[in-house]
């Protein structure tokens, strides 16, 4: 994905050397916006897994950070994953095709989410 979406050409993306593994990219507050048909040319699959490898910075603990978001053509979120430092929550939200229907959400709290706040590296998987 790094090459496919030319992430290293973005001046806001910082490449960090990792002595023990793959390249690490510091994204900061950079938003990577792509039409969904470029990312999912055959549409979003019925079943999928999102995997994040992240280390939050102290400043991130004071904000809400969107880790992943798919929006419709009007800009309304259809699927999102966010971390709220002030609330100590990780949320998954999804909207269906019917705009009148209420969005579905799942809010995670507790030890697992609190562990994300220790400023260390974590792997997060949602399936």
Angle at CA 118, nearest 5°, toward 113 and 121?
90
Contact indicator for 14, 26 with CB cutoff of 8 Å: yes
pLDDT score of 2 more than 70: no
pLDDT score of 19 more than 70: no
CATH 1.10.357.10, applies to 40-126: no
Q: What is the pLDDT of residues 103-123, one digit of tens each?
A: 899 999 999 999 999 999 899
Structural domain boundaries in the chain: 1-32, 40-126
Confidence tier at 18 by pLDDT (50, 70, 90): low
**Length of the chain, in residues:** 127
C-beta pairs of 81-84 under 8 Å, 24+ apart in sequence: 81/50, 81/52, 81/126, 83/56, 83/113, 83/116
Please state, in angstroms and rounded to a whole number, the distance separating the CA atoms of residues 22 and 53. Answer: 12
**Between these two residues, 118 and 6, which has the higher pLDDT value?**
118
Angle at CA 11, nearest 5°, toward 8 and 14?
60
Mean pLDDT of the chain: 83
Q: What is the pTM of this model?
A: 0.76
């Amino acid at each position: 994905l790094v090459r496919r979406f030319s992430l290293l050409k973005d001046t806001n993306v910082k490449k960090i050397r990792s002595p023990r593994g793959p390249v690490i990219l510091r994204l900061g507050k950079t938003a990577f916006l792509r039409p969904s048909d470029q990312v999912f040319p055959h549409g979003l699959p019925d079943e999928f897994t999102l995997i994040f490898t992240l280390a939050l910075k102290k400043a991130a603990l004071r904000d809400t950070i969107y880790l992943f978001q798919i929006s419709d053509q009007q800009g309304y979120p259809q699927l999102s994953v966010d971390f709220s430092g002030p609330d100590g929550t990780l949320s998954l939200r999804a909207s269906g095709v019917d705009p009148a229907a209420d969005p579905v959400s799942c809010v995670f709290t507790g030890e697992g989410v609190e562990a994300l706040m220790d400023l260390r590296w974590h792997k997060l998987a949602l399936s």
